[in-house]
Amino acid sequence: DAGITQSPRHKVTETGTPVTLRCHQTENHRYMYWYRQDPGHGLRLIHYSYGVKDTDKGEVSDGYSVSRSKTEDFLLTLESATSSQTSVYFCAIRFETSRDTQYFGPGTRLTVL
């Protein structure tokens, strides 16, 4: 599992509430990614980080923000959750070797009512 944990693993919240998901890694990887997975869409990139305080948008970044104040933690925030953000969220890391493979965490299932 490449030393990745995600918290919480499950969350139910109401529309309009703020939500923060945490991705924690123990192996000092520089690159971290947040994806969402929905039926029929595969994994879609929300935001990614290439170092502390260095982040950039992915394909589906609207409604999401991220922060990375230390190497081991990459936070995904939904400022005001909407039902369309009901999804399974995965964090991933990439090793800084010649390989480009990303390794994924166990996921967070978020339900917005």
Shortest Å distance, C-beta 42 to another protein: 4
Shortest Å distance, C-beta 102 to another protein: 6
Whose Cβ is closer to another protein: residue 14's or residue 96's? 96
Whose Cβ is closer to another protein: residue 67's or residue 104's? 104
Shortest Å distance, C-beta 45 to another protein: 6
Which residues would be at the binding site for another protein (CB under 8 A)? 1, 31, 39-45, 48, 50, 56, 58, 90, 94, 99-107
Shortest Å distance, C-beta 25 to another protein: 13
Contact 69, 79 (CB under 8 A): no
Whose Cβ is closer to another protein: residue 14's or residue 37's? 37
Angle at 12 between CA 26 and CA 75, to 5 degrees: 30
CA 61 – CA 3 distance, rounded (Å): 25
CA 33 – CA 91 distance, rounded (Å): 5
Q: What is the DSSP string of 64-87?
A: EEEEEEETTEEEEEESS--GGG-E
- In the DSSP assignment, the letter for residue 97 is S
Whose Cβ is closer to another protein: residue 1's or residue 62's? 1
